[in-house]
Structure 1
Amino acid sequence: MAKPPRKHTTHHPPPPSLSSLPEEISSLYVCLRNHYNDTSFHWFTLCPTEETATTTTEYRLVPNPTPFPHPKHGSLTVVAGSKIFFIGGGSSEPSSDLWILDTRSGNMTKGPSMSVPREKGEAAVGVIDGKIYVIGGGGGLQEERFNEEIQVEVFDLKSETWELAGMENVRKTSRCSASVEGKVYMVEYGEINVYNPRECERERMVRMVSQRLERGRKDMLNDSAFIVCVVEDVLYAFFYQSGVMWFNTKLNVWRRLLDRDGKELPFIFHVDAMAEYDDGKLVILYMLSEKEVYHTVTKSIRCMLVSLHRSGDMICGTVDWSGSMGTVPDSVDFLHCLAVSD
C-alpha cells in the first residue's frame, strides 16, 4: 500500500492489526481515535473483499491512502456530497468554528464562523435543500436552566455563508439528529422534536412524545437513543434498551426492525456507529472487548450489514453479512461513521 503524503506529518500510522487491502472506492468513512491522545485519528473506508467460487463476500476496514487531517475532537459532523463538515466543539468546549474536509482531495479548509458557539451532544444538525441547519447546543452559558432560547443558524452550501433563521426554545439535553423528508429530527429521551424550515418562524418546531408500536398497540418509549442515521429517507436509531428501531413518519411511532418472519435481528448489546451503505443497506458497527484474565487488552471491530425491505408501511431487515473486521487496542474508539458520495 502506498505511503501517505508527507504533508500530514502529525498523523500516526493506523493500528497495524486492522486489515490492509487494495484501494477501493467506498462511500463509508470511519474515523477511529485513541482516547488517551486527542491528536491521534485514523480514517478508514469500509470495503468488500473479493468473492471467489469458494468464498463469500466479507468486509474490512481499509486505511485511507491519504490520512485526513482533523480539526478537533468532539465536533458535530454532517455530510453534503463528497464533503464532511465539522461544526462547533466538544461537550466541554463550545466553539463557533466550521471546518470543511473535501474527501476527494483530502484538503481541510476553515469556513466562516457561526455567531453562537455550539457544543456536540446538545446541538442538532441536518442538511435540507442545499443548506445546513444547526439548532441548539449553546453550551454552558445558561447551565442552570433546562431550556435555552437560541438562534438557529443556516449555512448555505453554494454561497458558503451563515444566515440566522430565528430563535427557538430547545431543551438543554443530549440528543441525536438527522434530516428526513425535508425536516430535522431531534431524538431525545422520551421525546422527538421536529424542525421544519418551511414553516413560519415560531411555528417550525413541533414536539412529540416518543411512542412505539408493537402488536398493534402504542406505548410510551422511555428510552435513550445512542445513535441515529438515515437510509433512503427513513430514520433509524439504536436505543439502549429497545435496540434498532425505525421511525414511521405517517403514524409518528417507532417500530422495531424485525426480519421477514417477524423475528428480532441478532441481539447487539451496544452499537457504536450506524450509516447507509451500498445503496440502501444499513451497516451497524460495534466493538467487543477481548479480555486476558481480568484485563481488556484489545477490542474486536464487528460489522453487521442489513438489507432493508419495504412492504406497504412496514420495513424489515435481512442480515447479509456479520463478522469481525479486525482488532484494535483497548484505547481506540469510534469517533465518526459517515456515508459520503464519491
Structure 2
Amino acid sequence: MAMCWITSLPEDVIIECVARVPRRYYPSLSLVSKFFRSLIASPQLYARRSLLDRTEYCLYVTIYSHDDDYDRLYTLRQKINSSGDYCLVPIPSLPPMPSSGSYVAVGSKIYIMGGSCFEVSSNALTLIDCPLHMANHHLPNMPRAVASSVSGYINEKIYVIGGCRSRFPVFSEGPMDVMVFDVKSETWESKTRPDNLVFDWYSNSAVTWDDKIYFRVLKHGFVYDPSQDKMEKDDMLKSYHWVGSECVIERVLYYYSTASKILRSYDLKERCWKRVKGEIGLSGTTCARTVTYDKKVVVIFEKDIDRNKVELWCAEIKLERDEQGEICARLDWCVCVFEGHSRLMNCLVLKF
C-alpha cells in the first residue's frame, strides 16, 4: 500500500526524494518494480543528484578472466547496513571487453579503446554510460587496431598513443603514432610520428596533468603536449616501475610499490621522486593499481592464493602532513573484495 502511494506522486517529486538516497541502495531499489528500475536508470535522476551536490565517487575495476580471455567490468560497492565491508560486484548488463584495452574516464562515462581478444588486436571504441550501466558499440572505430596503448583526456579530446599490434611477443616495437578522438564531433584524427618504441603488453601507464600526458612505456618516460604535438623524454619519470597509476593529487603522482611495500610520490612539476612517510605494509602484494578520490589514495592489489585462485584487496590510504610539512601516509582500512581465477587490469574513479 505504501509503495502504491509513493508511485502516485508526481515523477519530479519522486526523483527529488530518490536523489537524496545513497547510491549503494539503488540496486535494491531497482528490484522493487519496473517503475523504480526505470527511475534508477533515468538521466534526470543523476542530473538532480548533481544539482543537489549528492554525487558520490565510484570505483570501477576491470578484471581479466583466464577462462574466456576477456576483461569484465566490476564496481566497488559498500554492503548495505555496513560501515566497513566492501565487495567488487560484476555489472551483468555490460558485455565482456577486449583484454588490455585503454580506458579513459570522461565525466560519468568510460571510453574503452582497442584491446585484444584471442591474441588479435582491436580497433573498436566502446562507450560505457556508468549511471545507466549501458554500452554503446556504435561509435566510429579507431584508425588502426592496437592494444595496451596509453591514453589521456584533455579539452574534450581523447589521445591514444602507441600500443601493441599483437600479444606475442610480449615486448613489441611499434610507432608512437597519436590517434585523437573528439568526443563532441565523434571523429578521429591520426597523427603520424617518425619515432618507434617498444611497448610492453602489461605495464604501460599514463596520467594527465596540466593539459599534458605523462606516461611510462617499459623503460622509457615521456611527456606529450597535445597543444604543440610535442613528445619530450622524461628520464626521471621512468626511474620507478609505476604501473596502472591514475593517482594525481595537487600535481603529485602517487603509486604503491609492490616490491618495496611503500608509497612513492613524483612531483610532476619539479620532476623528482620521494618516498612517502608511513608504513603501509600491504603484505603478499603481487600486482597493484593506484587511484585517488577525495584526496585519498586507493590501492587495489592482488594476492596469489594458489595457481587457480587470486584474491583482490582494496586499501584506502589517507594523506596528511607532519610538523615538518612532509606528506605522510596512514592506512585507514584494507579488506578482501574479490576472489577468482583472474587478473587485475585497470581501475578508474568516476563521480556521479
Q: Per the shorter chain, which TM-score range?
A: 0.7 to 0.9
Q: Which residue is 1:237 aligned to? A: 255
After TM superposition, give the deviation of residue 136 of structure 1 in Å.
0.9
Q: Does 1:205 align with 2:234?
A: no
Contact 2:157/2:180 (8 A) holds in 1 = yes
How far, CA to CA, are the matches of 1:313 and 1:190 in structure 2? 32
How far, CA to CA, are the matches of 2:256 and 2:194 in structure 1? 27
Contact 1:87/1:96 (8 A) holds in 2 = yes
Give the residue type in structure 1 aligned to 2:124.
D
Q: Which residue is 1:224 aligned to? A: 241
What are the ranges of 5 or more consecutive residues in structure 2 without an aligned counterpart? 1-27, 34-54
How far, CA to CA, are the matches of 2:172 and 2:311 in structure 1? 39
CA distance 1:40–1:241, shift in 2 (3 Å): closer
How far, CA to CA, are the matches of 2:301 and 2:132 in structure 1? 29
Tell me which moved more, 179-188 or 34-43.
34-43
Structure showing the higher helix proportion among its residues: 2
Alignment of 1:136-155 (within 5 A): 136-137=162-163, 139=165, 148-155=174-181
CA distance 1:190–1:172, shift in 2 (3 Å): closer
Q: Does 1:107 align with 2:134?
A: yes
After TM superposition, give the deviation of residue 33 of structure 1 in Å.
3.8
* Per-residue Cα deviation, 1:80-127 (whole angstroms, up to 9, x for no partner): 11111111123932222111111122221121112122121xx21011
Q: Which residue is 2:125 aligned to? A: 98
Q: Which residue is 1:85 aligned to? A: 111
Give the residue type in structure 2 aligned to 1:246.
S
How far, CA to CA, are the matches of 2:91 and 2:104 in structure 1? 22
How far, CA to CA, are the matches of 1:299 and 1:275 in structure 2? 21
CA distance 1:127–1:60, shift in 2 (3 Å): same
Contact 2:297/2:317 (8 A) holds in 1 = yes
* Per-residue Cα deviation, 1:126-146 (whole angstroms, up to 9, x for no partner): 111121101111526xx8x98
Q: Which residue is 2:78 aligned to? A: 47
Q: Does 1:183 align with 2:212?
A: yes
Q: Which residue is 1:215 aligned to? A: none
After TM superposition, give the deviation of residue 194 of structure 1 in Å.
0.5
Q: Which residue is 1:54 aligned to? A: none
CA distance 1:189–1:309, shift in 2 (3 Å): farther
CA distance 1:104–1:164, shift in 2 (3 Å): same
- Give the alignment partner of residue 30 of structure 1, picking from 31, 41, 61: 61
Q: Which residue is 1:289 aligned to? A: 304
Give the residue type in structure 1 aligned to 2:259.
Q
How far, CA to CA, are the matches of 1:32 and 1:151 in structure 2? 28
Classify the secondary structure of the residue corresponding to 1:27.
strand
How far, CA to CA, are the matches of 2:271 and 2:72 in structure 1? 38
Contact 2:108/2:130 (8 A) holds in 1 = yes
After TM superposition, give the deviation of residue 179 of structure 1 in Å.
1.2
CA distance 1:62–1:227, shift in 2 (3 Å): closer
Contact 2:246/2:291 (8 A) holds in 1 = yes
* Per-residue Cα deviation, 1:183-234 (whole angstroms, up to 9, x for no partner): 11112344310101122x4xx11102237xxxxxxxx93x433322123353
After TM superposition, give the deviation of residue 341 of structure 1 in Å.
2.3
Structure showing the higher strand proportion among its residues: 1
Give the residue type in structure 2 aligned to 1:118.
V
How far, CA to CA, are the matches of 1:157 and 1:40 in structure 2? 24
Contact 2:181/2:188 (8 A) holds in 1 = yes
Contact 1:32/1:333 (8 A) holds in 2 = yes
Q: Does 1:309 align with 2:327?
A: no
- Give the alignment partner of residue 338 of structure 1, picking from 328, 338, 348: 348
How far, CA to CA, are the matches of 2:270 and 2:199 in structure 1? 25
After TM superposition, give the deviation of residue 28 of structure 1 in Å.
0.7
How far, CA to CA, are the matches of 1:40 and 1:163 in structure 2? 27
After TM superposition, give the deviation of residue 251 of structure 1 in Å.
2.3
Q: Which residue is 2:295 aligned to? A: 280
- Give the alignment partner of residue 73 of structure 1, picking from 99, 109, 121: 99
What are the ranges of 5 or more consecutive residues in structure 1 without an aligned counterpart? 6-23, 52-56, 212-219
Alignment of 1:51-62 (within 5 A): 57-62=83-88
Contact 1:49/1:60 (8 A) holds in 2 = no
Q: Which residue is 1:126 aligned to? A: 152
Contact 2:224/2:232 (8 A) holds in 1 = yes
How far, CA to CA, are the matches of 1:148 and 1:33 in structure 2? 24
Contact 1:245/1:255 (8 A) holds in 2 = yes
Give the residue type in structure 1 aligned to 2:220.
E
After TM superposition, give the deviation of residue 158 of structure 1 in Å.
1.3
Q: Does 1:192 align with 2:208?
A: no
What TM-score does the superposition give when structure 2 sets the normalisation length? Answer: 0.71
* Per-residue Cα deviation, 1:245-283 (whole angstroms, up to 9, x for no partner): 221123212222223xxxx42254333322223x12111
Q: Does 1:117 align with 2:145?
A: yes
Classify the secondary structure of the residue corresponding to 2:61.
strand
